[in-house]
Amino acid sequence: MKKRWLAVLLILVMCAGLAACEGKKKKEEGGSDGVETLSLLMYTDWYKDGWKALENYINENADSLGFKLEISTIQGGDQGDQIIATKFASDDLPDLIQVYKPLWMEARCGGNDKLVDLSELSSVSEYDEEVLKATYYYDGKLCGMPIDTVTYANAVFYNKEVFEEYSIKEPETWEEFVDICKFFKDETDMTPLFYSGSDVWTLQMNACTSLFNDAAEKGQDIAGLMGDINTNKLKYSDNQLLINAAERSKQMITDGYVQESFMSDTFDNAQEAIVDKTAAMFINGTWFTDNISAKFPEEAENIGVFILPAEKGESYVDMYVPYTLCVTAGAKNVDTAKKAVEWITSQEAQQIYADAQPGIYLNKNVSSELIPAVKELKDIADSGRVMANWLESNLYSFGNFGVYLADYYTGNYTEAAQITQEMDDETGRNAEAAGDSNWK
């Protein structure tokens, strides 16, 4: 009898051990329910309402979808870029990663060889093939899929009630724009043009789009011009309209059209200034309207917009394509990770994203209600007056254009040409470090 109880006890212990082993195995595979949990890394600023809604839906429907998401975020800017570069160098990779364009990945991380080709995903058919080829392919491989909204910049936002009160029409030339600034300075207590230099990235909107006019003057589009810069056939310093635009943006400060506290004021301050009518205009992108809609929803319909007039030639909408969602070679289960991206970039998922975060989406089957300012910018872009943003099209880093402008505004550079010279010097250093023969 005693031996029998010992045998029973031994069987129970063995069963408990097997159950523990099975539980451990299931946990390692993704959880006690056997559903794979995928890790996803992105910059903190990119984790917005769209992702929050999608993450919530995924994790509530994990059984039917076949995966869960565990999202981690890192600080943006140079610090975050360095973290990503280090992870690729050390093969410390998450299952999924949201990054800039594949060209950026190659230049900063040399990491496109560690991204899985997604060209066979069924969701690819829901996107314009030419747009995908222009941005998300590298060396013949679809390195990732679009995620988030298309954004437009080179836009001057204003409070419609203010313009109506003073019977001001949207300017079509640079001279008309300056006249409006002069009116607000001389005839009102409002700041004509708000600069938010504490968030230095916002300063680059004041000048960078003139490079489009340099491209047009040379008979190129921006992709052709940047291709020449990336192969050392052209220098940033060879683009005089870009230099001129930097000079004009500083002249706004010199002429008293910008508030004295511009280097300590923030992007949030800019939103408040336009809404409360202490400033007349602010140059930025559709991020601005996203923030207005979130913080001051009753004011969203009252925001007007026009394209910043060029010194010479046509004025263009500056288009930033969405970020890139990738599967890394370090994924624990590549097939599950690809399945996740396939669903996340499908109409079903992107509509969930768009309902939480209205905007312009590259998935052709997704619809979204746009506030008037964004709708107007989209109409201008759809008319053909649009060029893809060049700040992410450089193969080698030229540094930070916004920081260079801040240095120019505050006297660290005495001439605007020093900005483009610094960009050329930094590009050359990075190209030589990469062993690019075009710089030898």
Q: What is the pLDDT of residue 39?
A: 98
Read off the pLDDT of each residue in 213-228 and give the average, rounded to a whole number. Answer: 91
154 — pLDDT class (breaks 50, 70, 90): confident
Contacts of 406 (CB under 8 A, 6+ apart): 197, 200, 203, 263
Burial class (CB in 10 A: 0-12, 13-18, 19+), 278: middle
With H, G, I as helix, E, B as strand and everything else as coil, classify residue 435: coil
Contacts of 337 (CB under 8 A, 6+ apart): 38, 95, 96, 116, 327, 328, 331
Mean pLDDT score across all residues of the chain: 90
Is residue 289 within 8 A of residue 76, CB to CB? The reply is no
15 — pLDDT class (breaks 50, 70, 90): very low
pTM: 0.79
Model pLDDT for residues 404-422, shown as the tens digit of each residue: 999 999 999 999 999 999 9
Q: Which amino acid is at 24?
A: K
243's tokens? 């230099």
Q: Is residue 303 predicted with pLDDT exceeding 90?
A: yes
Q: If you write DSSP's letter for every residue of 214-279 in order, what string do you get? A: HHHHTT--HHHHHHHHHTTSS-GGG-HHHHHHHHHHHHHHHTT-B-TTTTT--HHHHHHHHHTTSE
Q: Is residue 31 predicted with pLDDT exceeding 70?
A: no
Q: What is the C-alpha to C-alpha distance for residues 300 and 56, in angstroms, rounded to an integer?
A: 27
Q: What is the C-alpha to C-alpha distance for residues 115 and 96, in angstroms, rounded to an integer?
A: 9
Torsion angle, alpha carbons of 372, 373, 379, 381, to 10:
-160
Model pLDDT for residues 383-402, shown as the tens digit of each residue: 888 888 888 788 888 989 99
In order of start, what are the domains of the chain with their CATH numbers? 36-150+322-364 (3.40.190.10), 152-320+379-439 (3.40.190.10)
Read off the pLDDT of each residue in 365-381 and give the average, rounded to a whole number. Answer: 92
Backbone angles phi, psi at 96, to 5 degrees: -125, 150
Top-confidence residue, 185 or 19: 185
Top-confidence residue, 2 or 402: 402
Q: What is the pLDDT of residue 142?
A: 96
With H, G, I as helix, E, B as strand and everything else as coil, classify residue 38: strand
HEC letters along 380-434: HHHCCCEEECCCCCCCCCCCCHHHHHHHHHCCCCCCCHHHHHHHHHHHHHHHHHC
Q: What is the pLDDT of residue 386?
A: 85
